[in-house]
Amino acid sequence: MTPEIILVLGVLCVAILLFIFEWVRVDVVGIIMMTGLPLLGLVTPQEAVSGLSSNAVVSIIAVIIIGAGLDKTGAMNSLARLILRFAGKSESRIITLIASTVAFISSFMQNIGAAALFMPAARRIGRQTGIPVSRILIPMGFCAIIGGCLTLIGSSPLILVNDIMKIADPDVEPFGLFAVTPIGLALVVAALAYFIVLGRFVLPSAAGEESSGPMSVILQNTYRDMGTLFELHVPATFSGPKSLEELSIRPHYFTTVIAVAQNKGNRKFFAPKRETVIAAGDDIAVVGTREMVEKMAQNLGFVLKEELVSFAEDLSPNNAGMLEAIITPRSELARQTMRGFEFRKRYQVNPLAIFRGNKVFVAGISDIILQPGDALLLQGRWEKFHVLKNKPDLVFTEEVQGEIIRTDKVKVAVGCLLISLILILGFHVQLSIALLTGALGMILSGVMTIDEAYRSVDWMTVFLLGGLIPLGIAFENTGAARFIADTIMGAIGTVPPIVLLTVIGLLTSFFTLVASNVGATVLMVPLSMNMAVSAGADPRMAALVVAVACSNTFVLPTHQVNALIMRPGGYKTVDYFRAGAGMTVLYLIVMMAMISFFYGVAA
């Protein structure tokens, strides 16, 4: 063991401790690696920053921009709607549908790309169903990693395996495109079963970076008696039609009608005016306390639903919410009433309350003369708030969520994605270049601006991976990886082929946690093939075990996919260990069982 090997193993231990105890944020760990390794002489300065320009990191940046473009056009909203139509609000069905879909996409696209493209839809589904996004993203991420084992083009190690086998043995028979498919299918099924059965125990319930509910915690403290969203159905027995002004719902029940669905939901009004007519068969959404809404339903003969149905998507936290706005001194609203100003007609949002002098007014707010400095509690769709924030009349006390959906660009956005896929699959263009082409297409076609593209990138993920790549380089350059592999292989001696392959799988799983999966493949395939020949085992099977085991990386956020979902899911390193420890063991068991069964490896 050389001093360089001892030093790089020490750096590895420091990195693992920083991940476990979280003394600094994970991206800071990456920066520490980028600066510490060249200072210690373990890598060159060029190698230290090479991770930031690597194919993997550039691909991540490009695919996040593509995903953001798809989200801005509503494409991911449509995808989320389709999944919810089949899955409802069942957590197990949602996890199964999302995870299996991402696994399938990963079979012909790099797993980081599949996860990044599908993450906006997963986050939307979490917000709409109330399921913590942290319980969705880990199964999705793990299955994105495993899905790369469905075909020989699904992950970098499987793409490389035939070429590296040729280095060790020029006459070796290469694997076909679907040679690994039975193993990959079994692994995906095993992962889905693992999360369905044990998900309640191993998955965290953190809310991630998303906020849930129509109103923020700050506003809840001020407007604590406002209530929440309810949906009611107007039955056939209703003695109408009647206008909202005739029903007098706000003055009698301190409840605000914020949306009306007519003609079986085909026609919806999200800022209904007082002359809007309510008829039998309509659905209405209201904001109020449960006590008052139940009293209103009883008196008017409406049917109170258990949850939002007609408005489940339209009024979900993803698409609508409540904000507080302050009337500016130069506002046209000052010294006018909302009724005289035709507030709803002009702004297409619903006024719920006025806060003035530490007092909240709910009833009769349409006829109160407004003053500069008054705070208005408003409910509406985020796209309307984004338009309103650019007007000089109101200043919002919180950041407007959501964004203006550019539905007219949805075909262009999908086209940019298809161009990237065609370049990857049809013309074998390098992944980063193909994805950058799609991202550039999003910008040039007006799907998003260059500033929006910059803001969409998760730079924490970029610097985390940019720092881990030089650590993998140091691990290989100093001979630390080969030293560990030779030591372990020498210790086990002569063993049956299945035991040897299991040891190779364990060793590869360790290397892929602390180094890049490509580095682990390049190191372990020739070494494992030589060991297999010495032990009388099939060297092709040893190479296949290495290529598949390189995807067994779940207990640390070191894989690109795990790093990608870390912040959106609100995860800590311990969450990966809790969910990934069992998955790692299950992965090895299923992998070895399928290789033994399909390829006849002797025990």
CA distance 270 to 475: 59
Q: Which two three-digit tokens encode residue 496? A: 């049956």
Q: What pLDDT score does 490 carry? A: 80
Measured distance CA(200)–CA(160) in Å, rounded: 37
Answer whether residue 403 shows pLDDT above 80. Answer: no
* Separation of alpha carbons 579 and 556, rounded Å: 10
Mean pLDDT of the 26-54 span: 92
pTM attached to this predicted model: 0.70
What does the pLDDT look like over 1-36, one tens digit per residue?
Answer: 899 999 999 998 898 788 777 788 878 988 999 999
Ramachandran region, residue 361 (left: φ > 0; alpha: ψ -120 to 50; beta: rest): beta
Query: Other CB atoms closer than 10 Å to residue 220's CB: what's the count?
Result: 14
d(CA 33, CA 549): 25
Residue pair 209/134 in contact (Cβ under 8 Å)? The answer is no
- Looking at residues 236-259, what average pLDDT do you find? 93
CA trace torsion 117, 122, 127, 128 (10° rounding): 110
| pLDDT band at residue 521 under the 50/70/90 scheme | confident
| Cα distance between residue 283 and residue 314, in whole Å | 13
Distances (CA, A) of 74 to 70, 408, 574: 7, 9, 34
Mean pLDDT value of segment 66-93: 82
Specify the pLDDT at position 261. 96
Cβ(512)–Cβ(148) below 8 Å: no
DSSP state of 271: S
**Mean local confidence (pLDDT), 322-349:** 94
The whole-angstrom separation of Cα 583 and Cα 554 is: 7
Instruction: Please determine, for residue 602, whether its predicted confidence score (pLDDT) is greater than 60.
Output: no
CB neighbours of 107 closer than 8 A, spacing ≥ 6? Answer: 147, 148, 150, 151, 154, 184
**207: pLDDT strictly greater than 60:** no
362 or 56, higher pLDDT? 362
pLDDT tier, 212 (very low <50, low <70, confident <90, very high otherwise): very low
* Between residues 551 and 537, the one the model is more confident about: 551
Q: pLDDT band at residue 72, thresholds of 50, 70 and 90? A: confident
Mean pLDDT of the chain: 88
Give the DSSP H/E element, type plus range, for residue 284.
strand 283-288
Q: What is the pLDDT of residues 116-168, one digit of tens each?
A: 778 878 887 887 788 888 999 999 999 999 999 998 877 878 877 888 888 77
Q: Which amino acid is at 275?
A: E
Q: Token digits for 509?
A: 């799983």
- Spatial neighbors of 48 by CB under 8 A, at least 6 apart, are 34, 35, 37, 38, 470
* Helix residue spans in 394-516 (DSSP H): 410-425, 431-444, 450-456, 459-477, 480-492, 497-514
The Cβ-side half-sphere exposure at 600, using a 13 Å CA radius, reads 0
The per-residue pLDDT for 210 is 47
pLDDT (mean) for 543-571: 90
Amino acid at 264: K
Domains along the sequence of the chain with CATH: 3-209+459-599 (no CATH), 212-400 (3.30.70.1450)
- For residue 489, is pLDDT > 60? yes
| In the chain, % of residues over pLDDT 90 | 50
What does DSSP assign to residue 403? -
Decide: 400 and 389 in contact? Cβ < 8 Å.
yes
As a whole number of angstroms, the distance between CA 179 and CA 5 comes to 37
**446 or 407, which is more confident:** 446
Give the mean pLDDT of 430-437.
88
Which residue from 257, 262, 231 is spatially nearest to 244, judged by alpha carbons? 257
Per-residue pLDDT, 357: 87
Please state the rounded mean pLDDT for residues 58-65.
84
Tell me the C-alpha distance between 63 and 220, whole Å: 37
What pLDDT was estimated at residue 213? 53
Q: What number of helices (H) and strands (E) belong to the chain?
A: 27, 12
Residue 159 CA from chain centroid, whole number: 26
Provide mean pLDDT across the span 385-409: 89
The residues pairing with 29 across neighbouring beta strands, listed in sequence order, are: none
Pairwise CA distance, residues 442 & 398, whole Å: 29
Please indicate whether residue 280 or residue 207 has the higher confidence score (pLDDT): 280
Q: Please tell me which residue, 298 or 532, carries the higher pLDDT value.
A: 298
pLDDT confidence bin for 211, thresholds 50/70/90: very low
Lowest mean pLDDT among 150-164, 244-258, 574-588: 150-164
- 151-185 burial code (b ≥16 CB/10 A, e <16): bbbbbbbbbbbbebbeebeeeeeebeeebbbebbb
Spatial separation of the C-alpha atoms in residues 253 and 289, rounded to whole Å: 9
CB 126 within 8 A of CB 210: yes
The pair of three-digit structure tokens given for residue 387, joined into one six-digit string:
């338009």
Query: Do the beta carbons of residue 262 and residue 233 sit within 8 Å?
Result: no
- Two tokens at 576? 């990966």
* Rounded Cα gap, residues 384 and 403, in angstroms: 9
Most confident of 26-30, 493-497, 502-506, 529-533: 502-506
Lowest-pLDDT choice from 115-119, 431-435, 499-503, 507-511:
115-119
Q: How far is CA 265 from CA 191, 269, 440, in A?
A: 39, 10, 38
